[in-house]
């Protein structure tokens, strides 16, 4: 958020200074990416001590202060639980790797090599290459779904589970209100570790990497041990979950999680099942995106609560990805916000999204992200399954570092983020795009978000209303209605750069009805201007 001590890195005091900016947006809670002690091989998703804040962000006292000040302002605090893996520098792993007969031996997943010395199976790591790393000291391989510095914990071991619960309880007792759970659907493993069937020798990431046989049992145990007693809110990261499976995680009768983050809508422009995985892109189609939302909205109706997001620290900036980050930056940022926040569920706003921050383009070596660097080595240099040009094109489009550039506060040096050298490149567009400029502009994205969020707080229909898609197959218009207690609202947006002549079906809905919110002041009867979006009370139709 901001760097309070001039070391170039955002920190907890920096967040405290900006709490008014956050709370004025109208949000109810803040999700913080992991801030625990970590060698930062994966931006804190490699934890070496669950009980201590990493000194680069401050200390535990700063965190306790943040919780207190946030609570005073009516904001809840959600921390990030990284429980599928730890850092290889965690004391558990440091012990575990020493021998097969030490108390931490079974804290991780160790397997003997195949008779020819190779890895136990052909499973791949999300960051490229095999999911197994050989450890000389133990003469065995250990499993890591992410980088080799992030060994997977062995959830089969009840002691491991209790260690995680203890850490959760520690923070709950300090006042933390809930947890975002990192890759939580990966914690239970298929312990016989069979090879995936494949026609080549490349490592595979497949269905066995998630939703393992004991997942529900573990979540239920966590619920009974920690979540229920401490009344903690949860949102689990659940790649490979479709809406049907989601119900088994979040239906209230399950007593597992409150909500999950799906990846389905984020993958609509990713070519499915290629060795290049997320880097093999295909054309974006609005109808595909709407189809995913429709599926989740209808299947979870009365059976679960949706999580709504376009951006987070793993996703690029939505205006650059599917909008127009040049001449229609304001219009497309607010159009995407409208169609997302109008849906049923809990929306998440990622820092900078509320002022329409954009993607960046850097030379390969300037990227900090372990996923980009490791996948480049593996796919471009080693396997040669994707060219340098195509890989970089995908990085510019969807690479995680697009969202990790420092927050742009104003047009002073380093966007007002730090007075020294920032830990990562500041987006060169900061003089044009920054919070100060946005707030004083007539076309303020931040104030549009404020209005959207206010609507959700003030109108039950925005919370409870049923969702019915309109013009599902249209490639330009995103439209749906919300209905509740005899009231009906239309959420409507042109998601293209073209002027769209409104279809008869929508014209009829609009006649004589009341505009609730609109991103563009001037409206031309019968047409939608580029990225024009609105919410209209159509109850009188």
Just list the catalytic residues.
182, 237
Residue 76 is inside which H or E element, if any? strand 76-81
- Which residue number is nearest to ligand NOJ in terms of Cβ? 45
Q: Angle at Cα 362 formed by Cα 358 and Cα 367, nearest 5°?
A: 100
- In order, the DSSP letters of 261-283 are E--GGGGTTBPTT-TTGGGSB--
Using CA atoms, how far apart are residues 462 and 482, in angstroms rounded to an integer? 7
- Binding of ligand NOJ by 183 (CB under 6 A): yes
Using CA atoms, how far apart are residues 78 and 75, in angstroms rounded to an integer? 10
- Binding of ligand NOJ by 311 (CB under 6 A): no
- Binding of ligand NOJ by 310 (CB under 6 A): no
Residue 477 is inside which H or E element, if any? strand 477-484
If phi > 0 it is left, if psi is from -120 to 50 it is alpha, else beta; for residue 84 that is: alpha
CB distance 111 to 141 below 8 Å:
yes
**Least gap, CB of 54 to ligand NOJ (angstroms):** 15
- In order, the DSSP letters of 199-213 are SSSS-B--GGGSS-T
247 to 266, contacts with ligand NOJ by CB under 6 A? none
**Least gap, CB of 35 to ligand NOJ (angstroms):** 13
Closer by beta carbon to ligand NOJ, 87 or else 451? 87
Number of residues that bind ligand NOJ (CB under 6 A): 9
Dihedral of CA 402/405/409/413: which sign?
Answer: negative
Q: 341: helix, coil or strand?
A: helix
What would the x/- binding string for ligand NOJ be over residues 423 to 462, using CB under 6 A?
A: ----------------------------------------
**Least gap, CB of 370 to ligand NOJ (angstroms):** 7
Closer by beta carbon to ligand NOJ, 81 or else 453? 81
- Binding of ligand NOJ by 186 (CB under 6 A): no
What would the x/- binding string for ligand NOJ be over residues 2 to 21, using CB under 6 A?
A: --------------------
64 to 83, contacts with ligand NOJ by CB under 6 A? 82
**Least gap, CB of 514 to ligand NOJ (angstroms):** 41
**Least gap, CB of 150 to ligand NOJ (angstroms):** 7
- Binding of ligand NOJ by 349 (CB under 6 A): no
Using CA atoms, how far apart are residues 466 and 480, in angstroms rounded to an integer? 10
Residues with Cβ within 8 Å of 263's Cβ and at least 6 positions away in sequence, in order, are 238, 239, 240, 241
111 to 130, contacts with ligand NOJ by CB under 6 A? none
- Binding of ligand NOJ by 314 (CB under 6 A): yes
Closer by beta carbon to ligand NOJ, 47 or else 319? 47
Q: Which of 31, 45, 322, 480 binds ligand NOJ (CB under 6 A)?
A: 45
Chain-centroid distance of CA 524 in Å reads: 37
**Least gap, CB of 490 to ligand NOJ (angstroms):** 35
Closer by beta carbon to ligand NOJ, 87 or else 414? 87
Q: What are phi and psi of 31, to 5 degrees?
A: -100, 125
Q: Which of 182, 325, 401, 438 binds ligand NOJ (CB under 6 A)?
A: 182
Residue 344, exposed/middle/buried by CB under 10 A (0-12, 13-18, 19+)?
A: buried
- Binding of ligand NOJ by 367 (CB under 6 A): no
Closer by beta carbon to ligand NOJ, 181 or else 491? 181
Chain-centroid distance of CA 211 in Å reads: 19
Using CA atoms, how far apart are residues 42 and 149, in angstroms rounded to an integer? 9
**Least gap, CB of 276 to ligand NOJ (angstroms):** 18
**Least gap, CB of 97 to ligand NOJ (angstroms):** 20
Q: Which two tokens stand for residue 352?
A: 């900078």
What would the x/- binding string for ligand NOJ be over residues 218 to 247, using CB under 6 A?
A: -------------------x----------
Using CA atoms, how far apart are residues 477 and 482, in angstroms rounded to an integer? 16
Closest CA to 33 of 45, 47, 15: 45
Q: Are strands 49-53 and 36-37 parallel, antiparallel or unpaired?
A: antiparallel
Q: Are strands 487-494 and 514-518 parallel, antiparallel or unpaired?
A: unpaired
CA-based end-to-end distance of the chain = 45
Bridge partners for 134 per DSSP: 141
Closer by beta carbon to ligand NOJ, 313 or else 393? 313
Closer by beta carbon to ligand NOJ, 299 or else 313? 313
79 to 108, contacts with ligand NOJ by CB under 6 A? 82
**Least gap, CB of 385 to ligand NOJ (angstroms):** 22
Using CA atoms, how far apart are residues 287 and 75, in angstroms rounded to an integer? 36
131 to 150, contacts with ligand NOJ by CB under 6 A? 146
- Binding of ligand NOJ by 42 (CB under 6 A): yes
Residue 437's CB: how many other CB atoms inside 10 A? 17
Q: Which two tokens stand for residue 380?
A: 């471009």
Closer by beta carbon to ligand NOJ, 278 or else 344? 278
Closer by beta carbon to ligand NOJ, 203 or else 342? 203
Interface residues with ligand NOJ (CB under 6 A) are 42, 45, 82, 146, 182-183, 237, 313-314
């Amino acid at each position: 958020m901001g760097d309070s001590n001039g070391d170039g890195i955002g920190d907890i005091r920096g967040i405290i200074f900006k709490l008014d900016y956050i709370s004025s947006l109208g949000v109810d809670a803040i999700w913080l990416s992991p801030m625990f002690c970590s060698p930062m091989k994966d931006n804190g998703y490699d934890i070496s001590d669950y009980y201590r804040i990493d000194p680069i962000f401050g200390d535990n006292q700063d965190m306790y202060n943040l919780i207190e000040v946030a609570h005073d302002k009516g904001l809840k605090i959600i921390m990030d639980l990284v429980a599928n893996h730890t850092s290889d520098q965690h004391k558990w792993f440091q012990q575990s790797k020493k021998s097969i007969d030490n108390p931490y031996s079974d804290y991780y997943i160790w397997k003997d090599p195949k008779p020819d010395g190779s890895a136990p199976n052909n499973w791949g790591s999300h960051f490229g290459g095999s999911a197994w790393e050989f450890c000389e000291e133990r003469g065995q391989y250990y499993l890591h779904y992410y980088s080799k510095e992030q060994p997977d914990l062995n959830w089969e071991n009840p002691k491991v589970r209790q260690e995680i619960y203890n850490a959760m309880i520690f923070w709950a007792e300090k006042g933390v209100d809930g947890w975002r759970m990192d890759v939580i659907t990966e914690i239970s493993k298929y312990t016989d570790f069979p090879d995936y069937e494949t026609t080549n020798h490349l490592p595979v990431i497949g269905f066995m990497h998630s939703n393992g046989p004991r997942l529900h049992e573990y979540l239920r145990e966590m619920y009974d041990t920690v979540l229920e007693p401490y009344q903690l809110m949860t949102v689990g990261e659940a790649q490979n979950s479709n809406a049907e499976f989601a119900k088994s995680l979040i239906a209230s009768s399950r007593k597992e999680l409150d909500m999950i983050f799906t990846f389905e809508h984020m993958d609509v422009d990713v070519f499915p099942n290629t060795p290049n995985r997320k880097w093999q892109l295909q054309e974006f189609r609005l109808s595909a995106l709407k189809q995913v939302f429709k599926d989740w909205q209808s299947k979870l109706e009365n059976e679960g609560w949706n999580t709504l997001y376009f951006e987070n620290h793993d996703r690029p900036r939505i205006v650059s990805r599917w909008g127009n980050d040049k001449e229609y930056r304001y219009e497309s940022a607010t159009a995407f916000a409208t169609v997302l926040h109008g849906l049923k569920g809990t929306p998440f706003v990622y820092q900078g999204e509320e002022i329409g921050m954009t993607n960046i383009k850097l030379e390969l070596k300037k990227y900090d992200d372990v996923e980009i660097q490791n996948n480049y080595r593996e796919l471009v240099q080693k396997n040669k399954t994707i060219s340098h040009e195509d890989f970089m094109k995908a990085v510019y489009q969807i690479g995680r570092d697009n969202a990790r550039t420092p927050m742009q506060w104003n047009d002073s040096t380093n966007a007002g983020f730090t007075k020294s050298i920032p830990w990562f490149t500041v987006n060169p567009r900061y003089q044009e795009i920054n919070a100060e400029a946005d707030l004083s502009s007539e076309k303020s994205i931040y104030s549009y978000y404020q209005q959207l969020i206010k609507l959700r707080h003030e109108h039950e229909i925005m919370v409870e209303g049923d969702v019915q898609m309109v013009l599902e197959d249209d490639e330009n218009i995103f439209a749906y209605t919300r209905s509740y207690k005899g009231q009906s609202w239309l959420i409507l947006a042109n998601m293209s750069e073209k002027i769209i002549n409104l279809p008869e079906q929508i014209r009829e809905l609009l006649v004589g009805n009341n505009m609730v919110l609109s991103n563009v002041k001037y409206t031309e009867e019968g047409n939608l201007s580029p990225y024009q979006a609105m919410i209209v009370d159509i109850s009188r139709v």
